[in-house]
């Protein structure tokens, strides 16, 4: 099935000879632009504010990779908890796949950092210093004048400053704001890795947002490349109603369709395509052509929605469907991942404890007594420092030695607490299990089982593993 | 815009599913990264393989293994002389005391007087009271009696530090210490 549209040259940010067709998107006004801008600034606000927010004495989001300490909204994790991310990530990934099947590339146009920073910050600066589309195009084609040099200098300086700020905010998620400010007050040579990371990130941001731009979405982004398998004819896309619009023509032409061929949808496109050529891989569903076309339709007194959010079936005049088998499957898989992640997060315990045996012999015979030596491995998984109390449960015939019954542990610190249990050989009858109670000052209590080992046959002194000292 | 010759693309062929394919060049910036990688690989090859200026992975691995072996002193024999000198170094003793408090106190008590483990502050030693003997006991342990081998956990340097600290405890007769166990050890120094 080939295209029904008239033969028109396809448009793209890449020319056939491999050169870049630099895109100069025109200004656009409309309801989607207003809504998008509101979301962009809200998202940037969240990005900038999160490192400042403290929950229970720790930053709301602080991923200390060097020390393997992870603080997330008041919960504290160490490297042993990394398995939870499997479910979190699969849940999030299927959530995105689900959103794509239902809403198309809503992520790209509304929430992707590439779009958010490019549209809300970098293009804003460019528009402010260099003027609207026509001025920018004329100046870029023209000779180098003092005016052009000055404007380019200002816009690039501002971009570099913004890139540096964004890179510093990014780093603060991994080193915490306090350490970031501390490092900023010292010479770069004292923390070369952090300095290089920030400089490399700032350079990458500057390169990406000042020059690379839509090439990232069109050529590099794997999510963009997966669209052809994630979408189906019932997914929501930004599309042109060819049935209503064609044949396009001048306003005065009575035989024309609704499209007045004003080219507005093309000049506002940030990836340089013509949406009237149908659904294309380059389309990031930014909705700028919707706002542009609605404005023109209002002027020529036609109903809005020649370009609109609709499914491919809807645009072709076929019945629209929301619930499809793929939507149900994606919902199930996404919900499963998020459910397991939520369960494992809610069952996250505030301390970890294990009863281990001291390396060496399983038990020691000391005169007429059998002795077992244990190590109690404790990890404080709370964000606060706390003291743990180790108390063996009183057992008739068994005497305990706990040399360090109270252990103070900083957040995510660990300690090995020794513990000895002794009982007369005559009283030992396997299997015996002792109970050790650990309480913390935060109010947690846990009882652990410690198997007590000894020689078979109780009182018979021979054929044993242990030795009398 | 449609007069821009660069954007006009010819349909080269239509596949069975009706998908049109254009004969476009690769993006120039992409080709720059491609040829740039080839140029880089030539320099890389000469740097690491031909002139061997850079350190290869194998060489880096050998260097790091040698560093770790040196730091842990795993295979270096320790003499009584060295240990006796260490027991006079305040910095080593401070480290040794800290290791003693966190590792040994449970069985040997804070003052070395012994709890489950024997008294370290008398003249009697079960496994010998000489510097090398104490070091061997710390490093390799006495598994059948409940003394763990601390060498693998502490590393040679820290095991030596704690041995040096134990040497200073000898014959201090800590109050409330356990009764003597083992044989009387005649001190050489």
Residue B112 backbone zone (phi > 0: left; psi -120 to 50: alpha; other: beta):
left
CA distances from A450 to A372, A374, A402, A416, A437 (A): 10, 8, 14, 15, 11
What was the ipTM of the complex prediction? Answer: 0.71
Q: Which residue of A has its CA nearest to B153?
A: A359
Q: How much is the average pLDDT of A48-69? A: 89
List, for residues A158-172, the tens digit of each pLDDT value.
999 999 999 999 999
A457 pLDDT band, cuts 50/70/90, is low
Q: Say yes or no to pLDDT of B187 above 70.
A: no
Q: State the Cα–Cα distance between residues A58 and A76, nearest whole angstrom.
A: 9
Residue A36: pLDDT above 70?
A: yes
| pLDDT tens readout for residues A430-450 | 778 999 999 999 888 999 999
Per DSSP, what are the bridge partners of residue A448?
A: A436
Mean pLDDT check: name the lowest of A121-125, A134-138, B83-87. B83-87
- Contacting residues of B for A21, CB less than 8 Å apart: 4, 6-7
Instruction: Please say if the pLDDT value at position B64 is more than 70.
Output: yes
What three-state secondary structure class fits A187? Answer: coil
The DSSP symbol for A300 reads: T
CB-neighbour burial class of residue B126 (10 A; exposed 0-12, middle 13-18, buried 19+): middle
Check pLDDT > 70 for residue A250.
yes
Task: Decide if B18 and A2 are in contact by the 8 Å CB cutoff.
Answer: yes
**pLDDT surpassing 60 at residue B9:** no
Instruction: Quote the CA–CA distance of A211 and A20 in Å, as a whole number.
Output: 11
Rounded to an integer, the average pLDDT of A88-97 is 91
Burial status of residue A158 (CB atoms within 10 A of its CB: 0-12, 13-18, 19 or more): middle
Tell me the shortest Cα–Cα distance from A12 to chain B, in angstroms.
7
pLDDT at A417: 82
A439 token code pair: 């309480």
Interchain contact B14–A (C-beta under 8 A): yes
Query: Which chain B residues are Cβ-neighbours of A371 within 8 angstroms?
Result: 116, 146
Say if residues A12 and A272 touch (Cβ distance below 8 Å).
Answer: yes
Widest CA span in chain B: 105
- pLDDT band at A464, cuts 50/70/90? very low
Minimal Cβ distance to B115: which of A11, A361, A403: A403
Q: How many CB atoms lie within 10 A of CB A397?
A: 11
Instruction: Tell me the pLDDT tens digit for each residue of B49-59.
Output: 888 888 888 88
Determine the Cα–Cα distance for residues A379 and A391; give it in Å rounded to an integer.
17
Which residue of chain B comes nearest to A373, CA vs CA?
A: B146
* Cβ distance of A403 and B107 shorter than 8 Å: yes
| A9 closest CB neighbour out of B8, B29, B143 | B8
Helix H or strand E segment including A404:
none
Strands (E), B31-164: 124-125
Q: How many CB pairs under 8 A join A and B?
A: 98
* Nearest residue to A390 via CA among A430, A421, A359, A361: A421
């Amino acid at each position: 099935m080939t295209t029904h549209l008239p033969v028109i040259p396809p448009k793209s940010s890449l020319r056939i000879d491999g050169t870049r067709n630099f895109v100069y998107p025109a200004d656009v006004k409309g309801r989607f632009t207003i809504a998008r801008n509101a979301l962009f600034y809200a998202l940037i606000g969240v990005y900038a504010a999160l490192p400042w927010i403290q929950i229970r004495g720790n930053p709301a989001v602080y991923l200390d990779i060097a020390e393997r300490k992870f603080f997330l909204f008041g919960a504290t994790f160490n490297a042993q908890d990394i398995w939870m991310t499997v479910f979190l990530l699969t849940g999030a990934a299927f959530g995105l796949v689900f959103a794509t099947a239902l809403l198309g590339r809503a992520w790209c146009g509304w929430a992707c950092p590439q779009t958010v920073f490019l549209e809300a910050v970098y293009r804003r600066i460019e528009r402010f210093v260099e003027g609207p589309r026509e001025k920018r195009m004329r100046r870029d084609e023209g000779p180098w004048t003092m005016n052009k040099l000055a404007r380019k200098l200002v816009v690039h300086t501002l971009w570099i400053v913004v890139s540096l700020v964004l890179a510093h905010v990014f780093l603060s998620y991994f080193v915490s704001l306090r350490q970031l400010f501390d490092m900023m007050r010292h010479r770069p040579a004292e923390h070369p890795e952090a300095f290089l990371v920030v400089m490399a990130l700032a350079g990458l941001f500057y390169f990406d947002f000042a020059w690379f731009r839509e090439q990232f979405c069109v050529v590099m982004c794997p999510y963009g490349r997966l669209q052809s398998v994630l979408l189906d004819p019932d997914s929501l896309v930004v599309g042109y109603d060819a049935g209503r619009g064609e044949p396009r023509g001048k306003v005065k032409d009575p035989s024309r369709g609704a499209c007045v061929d004003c080219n507005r949808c093309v000049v506002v496109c940030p990836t340089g395509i013509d949406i009237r050529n149908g659904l294309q891989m380059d389309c990031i569903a930014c909705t700028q052509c919707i706002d542009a076309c609605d404005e023109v339709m209002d002027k020529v007194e036609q109903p809005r929605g020649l370009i609109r959010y609709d499914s491919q079936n809807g645009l072709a005049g076929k019945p629209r469907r929301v619930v499809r088998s793929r939507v149900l499957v994606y919902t199930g898989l996404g919900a499963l991942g998020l459910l397991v992640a939520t369960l494992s997060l809610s069952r996250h315990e505030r301390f970890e404890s294990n009863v281990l045996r001291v390396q060496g012999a399983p038990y020691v015979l000391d005169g007429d007594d059998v002795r077992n030596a244990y190590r109690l491995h404790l990890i404080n998984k709370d964000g606060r420092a706390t003291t743990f109390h180790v108390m063996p449960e009183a057992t008739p015939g068994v005497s305990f030695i706990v040399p360090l019954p109270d252990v103070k542990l900083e957040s995510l610190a660990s300690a090995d607490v020794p513990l000895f249990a002794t009982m007369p050989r005559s009283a030992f009858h396997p299997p015996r299990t002792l109970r050790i109670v650990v309480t913390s000052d935060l109010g947690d209590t846990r009882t652990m089982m410690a198997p007590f080992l000894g020689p078979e046959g109780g009182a018979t002194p021979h054929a044993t593993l242990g030795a009398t000292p | 815009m449609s007069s821009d010759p660069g954007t006009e693309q010819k349909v080269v062929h239509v596949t069975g599913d009706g998908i049109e394919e254009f004969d476009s060049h690769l993006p120039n910036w992409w080709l720059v990264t491609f040829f740039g990688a080839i140029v880089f690989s030539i320099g890389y090859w000469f740097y690491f393989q031909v002139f061997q200026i850079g350190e290869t992975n194998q060489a880096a691995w050998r260097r790091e293994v040698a560093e770790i072996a040196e730091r842990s002193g795993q295979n270096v024999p320790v003499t009584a002389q060295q240990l006796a000198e260490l027991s006079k170094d305040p910095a080593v003793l401070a480290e040794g005391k800290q290791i003693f408090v966190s590792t040994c106190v449970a069985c040997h008590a804070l003052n070395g007087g012994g709890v489950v483990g024997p008294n370290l502050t008398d003249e009697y030693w079960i496994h010998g009271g000489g510097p090398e003997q104490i070091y061997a006991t710390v490093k390799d342990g006495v598994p059948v009696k409940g003394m763990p081998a601390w060498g693998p956990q502490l590393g040679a340097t820290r095991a030596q530090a704690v041995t040096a600290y134990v040497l200073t405890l000898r014959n201090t007769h800590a109050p409330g210490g356990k009764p003597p166990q083992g044989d009387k050890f005649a001190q050489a120094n």
